[in-house]
């Protein structure tokens, strides 16, 4: 019957006066629906292949001792902890961020942990010239580049319709998206020469589209799709690992973000309203998982793992996910968040769940200034 149907469609295409492109797409629609049946045949051997490949990676992860790793956003949070994880493995480090004094503090600790050589380069990933400069400085100092860790990022938390000037949020794309693209473009010839690897920190927000974070979500979705495309273009010349983490211990989860005016603020009440009762993963644990994934050549990483269940709900039942987010992030009358922030704070303090769900470091609003 299936063969007969296919022949009928083919005959219709040949005899019809309908534009050929329409007919071809009609045929492709028909074929695509039936191709889903191939999954039943394809998936078992595919997962056998995946398990075999994973087993090999467990036995033989990459030894990064003596290799050169460039890390952006290395002055705090996840980037700082990634530096320490690579240092434990004996890698040589190039640390990049805007806050040079903080970078030197991280470098001193990383050297004590085990990194044999560390270069500190102050730079802004949103500035293309800075990107060229810190990649060039790294290669000139070490003579090579093996891993590029694109970690620098900035968050924004506000309702889109309350933003006075959307142009104030170009900086979110400049840091989160272009701040990963420019270093990658500069580093790529050196990574191809060494057969190196690229890590990029996207976000669970790229998939889940969290309210109040429209600009951030968009920037991280752009990162995700850009590096998925780049992986295809590069074949196996350079490995790419993309992370889509949930809430992780960082300055962002301390309450640091861009306000609706596009200015940096530290607002822990807003943080409590945004994060709510979702648990925050320690930065050290996240960094350990990231470095392990990169060394094992994994394509994707989600920390914590249970966010993948949310991704699946988003894909298969998007209305359910949207409904739950509307309830969780419900706006008060008039669009003001002060009442909701106060309620979130009172709930977390009254139930004692803040100490359970958030690392101790997040209880302070202090962030590094230099």
Distances (CA, A) of 262 to 159, 169, 281, 368: 12, 6, 27, 20
Give the single-character DSSP code of 118. Answer: E
**Confidence at 31, pLDDT banded by 50, 70, 90:** confident
* pLDDT confidence band for 23 (50 / 70 / 90): confident
**Mean pLDDT score across all residues of the chain:** 89
CA distance 66 to 113: 14
- Please say if the pLDDT value at position 10 is more than 70: no
Answer positive or negative: Cα dihedral of 80, 229, 220, 284.
Answer: negative
- Residue 152 CA to residue 319 CA, distance in Å, equals 32
Q: Model's pTM, two decimal places? A: 0.88
Nearest Cα neighbor of 272 from 209, 343, 345 is: 345
Q: State the distance between the two ends of the chain, measured CA to CA, in whole angstroms.
A: 72
The residue annotated as part of the active site, out of 49, 216, 307, 329, is 216
Kindly report, residue by residue over 93-121, the tens digit of the pLDDT. Answer: 999 999 999 999 999 999 999 999 999 99
- Please check the confidence at residue 132 and state whether its pLDDT lies above 60: yes
Mark whether 216 is an active-site residue: yes
What mean pLDDT do residues 45-73 have?
A: 84
Query: Where residue 51 falls among pLDDT bands split at 50, 70, 90?
Result: confident
d(CA 370, CA 345): 30
Are 35 and 43 spatial neighbours (Cβ–Cβ below 8 Å)? no
Q: Averaged over 15-37, what is the pLDDT? A: 74
Q: 169 near 218, Cβ under 8 Å?
A: no
pLDDT band at residue 347 under the 50/70/90 scheme: low
Residue 327: the pLDDT is 83
Q: Average of pLDDT values for 41-58?
A: 75
Query: Looking at domain 60-314, which of 3.40.50.720, 3.30.565.10, 3.20.20.140, 3.20.20.70 is its CATH number?
Result: 3.40.50.720
Distance CA 146, CA 121 (A): 17
At 72-88, the pLDDT tens digits run 999 999 999 999 999 99
- Longest CA span, the chain: 77
% pLDDT > 70, the chain: 86
How far, in Å, CA of 19 to CA of 13, rounded?
A: 9
Instruction: Report cis status (omega within 30 of 0) of the bond before 304.
Output: yes
In this prediction, residue 367 carries a pLDDT of 79
Q: Is the pLDDT of residue 211 over 60?
A: yes
Residue 44: its pLDDT value, please? Answer: 83
Does residue 11 carry a pLDDT above 80? no
pLDDT band at 5 (very low <50, low <70, confident <90, very high): low
DSSP state of 361: G
**What is the tens place of the pLDDT at every residue in 285-334?**
999 999 999 999 999 999 999 999 999 999 999 999 888 888 888 765 55
Summarize the confidence of residues 130-150 as an average pLDDT: 98
Report, in angstroms and rounded to the nearest whole number, the Rg of the chain calculated over CA atoms.
Answer: 24
Q: Which of 73, 82, 78, 72 is nearest to 280 (CA)?
A: 78
Q: How far apart are CA 345 and CA 125, in angstroms?
A: 34
**Domain range annotation of the chain:** 60-314
Using 50, 70 and 90 to split pLDDT, how confident is the model at 12?
Answer: low
- pLDDT > 90? residue 58: no
pLDDT surpasses 80 at 183: yes
Would the pLDDT of 15 be above 60?
no
Mean pLDDT within 336-357: 62
pLDDT of amino acid 346 = 59
């Amino acid at each position: 019957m299936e063969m007969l149907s296919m022949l009928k469609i083919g005959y219709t295409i040949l005899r019809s006066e309908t534009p050929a492109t329409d007919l071809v797409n009609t045929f492709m629609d028909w074929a695509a629906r039936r191709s889903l049946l191939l999954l039943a045949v394809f998936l078992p051997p595919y997962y056998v292949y995946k398990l075999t490949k994973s087993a090999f990676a467990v036995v033989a992860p990459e030894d990064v001792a003596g290799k050169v790793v460039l890390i952006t956003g290395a002055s705090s949070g996840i980037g700082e902890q990634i530096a320490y994880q690579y240092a434990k493995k004996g890698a040589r480090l190039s640390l990049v961020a805007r806050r040079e004094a903080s970078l030197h503090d991280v470098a001193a600790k990383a050297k004590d942990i085990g990194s044999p050589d560390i270069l500190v380069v102050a730079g802004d990933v949103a500035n293309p010239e800075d990107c060229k400069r810190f990649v060039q400085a790294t290669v000139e100092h070490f003579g090579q580049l093996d891993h590029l860790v694109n970690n620098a990022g900035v968050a924004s938390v506000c309702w889109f319709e309350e933003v006075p000037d959307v142009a104030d949020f170009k900086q979110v794309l400049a840091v989160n998206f272009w701040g990963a693209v420019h270093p990658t473009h500069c580093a790529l010839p050196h990574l191809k020469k060494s057969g190196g690897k690229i890590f990029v920190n996207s976000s669970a927000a790229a998939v889940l589209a969290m309210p109040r974070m429209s600009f951030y979500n968009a920037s991280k979705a752009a990162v995700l799709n850009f590096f998925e495309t780049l992986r295809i273009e590069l074949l196996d010349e350079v490995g790419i690992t993309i992370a889509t983490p949930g809430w992780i211990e960082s300055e962002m989860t301390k309450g640091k973000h861009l306000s609706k005016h596009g200015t940096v603020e530290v607002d822990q009440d807003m943080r409590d309203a945004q994060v709510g009762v979702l648990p925050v993963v320690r930065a050290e644990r996240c960094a350990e998982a990231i470095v392990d994934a990169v060394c094992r050549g994994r394509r994707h990483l989600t920390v914590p793992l249970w966010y993948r269940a949310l991704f699946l709900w988003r894909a298969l039942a998007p209305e359910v996910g949207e409904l739950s987010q509307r309830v969780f992030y419900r706006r008060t009358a008039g669009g003001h968040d002060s009442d909701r922030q106060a309620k979130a704070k009172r709930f977390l303090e009254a139930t004692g769940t803040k100490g359970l769900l958030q690392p101790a470091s997040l209880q302070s609003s202090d962030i590094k200034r230099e």
